[in-house]
Amino acid sequence: MISTVVLATGLTLILIGIWGTLTQRNILRIVIAFSLIGTGTHIFIVAIGYVTSGTAPIIDRGLSTSEAPMRAVDPIPSALVVTAIVIGLAVTAMMLAFAIRLYEARKTLSIDAFTESKG
């Protein structure tokens, strides 16, 4: 039940991101839309790893080694997301760097000013 709600949240974020990349004209807003797609994907992946009434796969007083395989959530999607967040940050940094260069070229952040590659 919980994972379905989280899954729906992630998918909605991805949809908002796709809509934003297609409709927005400001480059910064497009970058934000791409980040939304990334964040939505992360939420989606974490939600897939959820096990009913599971807890974080960290052994401590509340979760002994023997009962961990029964009560912990899947650690693999979480480990994947840690790396995916870093890649997302890298992509955002690159996009922002290009945005700065594009702004210097045309003194505007609107993609309507960049018509060279328009077919």
Partner 1 sequence: MIRRAAIVLAVAQFGLVFAGLLVGHVERQSLPPLGKRYVELVPRELGAANVITGILLSYRAFDTLGEVAVLFMVAASVGLVLARRERRKENLLGDARLATRQASEIVRTGAQILVPLIAIFAVYIITNGHLSAGGGFQGGAVAASSVILLLLADPRQRFDQQLLSGMESTAGILFVLVGVAGLIFANGFLDSRVLPLGQFGTFFSAGAIPLLSVLLGVKVGCELSVILDRFRT
Interface contacts to partner 1, rule CB under 8 A = 1-4, 7-8, 11, 14-15, 18-19, 22-23, 49-52, 56-60, 65, 68-70, 72-76, 78-79, 82-83, 85-87, 89-90, 93-94, 96-98, 100-101, 104, 107
C-alpha distances (whole Å) from 62 to each of 58, 67, 90, 92, 111 are: 9, 10, 36, 38, 53
The distance of closest approach from Cβ of residue 76 to partner 1 in the complex, given in angstroms and rounded to an integer, is 5
- Considering only CA atoms, which of 16, 17, 15, 73 is closest in space to residue 45? 73
Pair 89, 71: CB distance under 8 Å: no
Distance of closest approach, residue 32 Cβ to partner 1, in angstroms? 16
Rank residues 18 and 116 by Cβ distance to partner 1 and give the closer one.
Answer: 18
Residue number, 104 or 116, with CB nearest to partner 1: 104
Q: Which amino acid is at 64?
A: S
Beta carbon of residue 109, minimum distance to partner 1 (angstroms, whole number): 12
- Closest CB to partner 1 among 81 and 116? 81
- Between 41 and 116, name the residue whose CB sits nearer to partner 1: 41
* Least Cβ distance, residue 5 to partner 1 (angstroms): 10
> Which tokens hold the place of 61?
């007083």
| Cβ–Cβ < 8 Å for 67, 82 | no
